[in-house]
Amino acid sequence: MSENVTENIREVWNRYRYAAVNCTLAVLQVIFYLLNAALGGALYAPLALHAGAVLQGHQYWRLFTVMLMHADLTHLLSNLLGQIFIGNIVEQNLGHARFGLLYFLCLAGASACSVLHAVTNGWNGWCVGSSGAVFGLMGALAVLILKGFRKYDSRRSLPQRALFMLVYAVYSGSQSASVDNAAHVGGLLTGLLAGIILSLGIDPDLRRLL
């Protein structure tokens, strides 16, 4: 029994050590959600995305810290599901450093589009969540699939992941009028472009850790 447990632990470790950055970002989101809940939502004001605070107050960190804030547990779990399901395979193919750069580029692109949309439409509300970055990972995964990257995955599971991407996109965009579709579009486009650039020079058949 103990040998089986040890083998299972080793298998999980061997799989997820190649997605260390993505898993760390997911854990960070959980920590901040719990911390914000314990503080009665006090972290929304300094960390959530707000167009006026970014453009007039020059609080550019909000373009990135928006990923740490979520409206409720359902919001958090839906984003984490997409991030883990899609992001792990992207990191396993691109490597840690390129994945980290990809994630924050997607986050910045999503937030920038959200701010632009808010200014254009005169909207003065707050935005929270990491779904813009998740949509960016969807774009990058699409690029990797088209370019033939299949490391750490099977041919059978790739169509399943593509189907999940479609379901996640429809679900996220149709939940309510408060969904920030501008961030989703911005993240997706950034992910497509960044995925093309960051996958250059990588052999799909070689193991990547950096």
CA pair distance 187, 136, nearest whole angstrom: 4
Q: Which residue is catalytic, options 70, 96, 117, 184?
A: 184
Q: How far apart are CA 78 and CA 174, in angstroms?
A: 13
Whether 114 is catalytic is no
Catalytic residue among 114, 131, 172, 199: 131
117 is catalytic: no
Catalytic residues: 131, 184
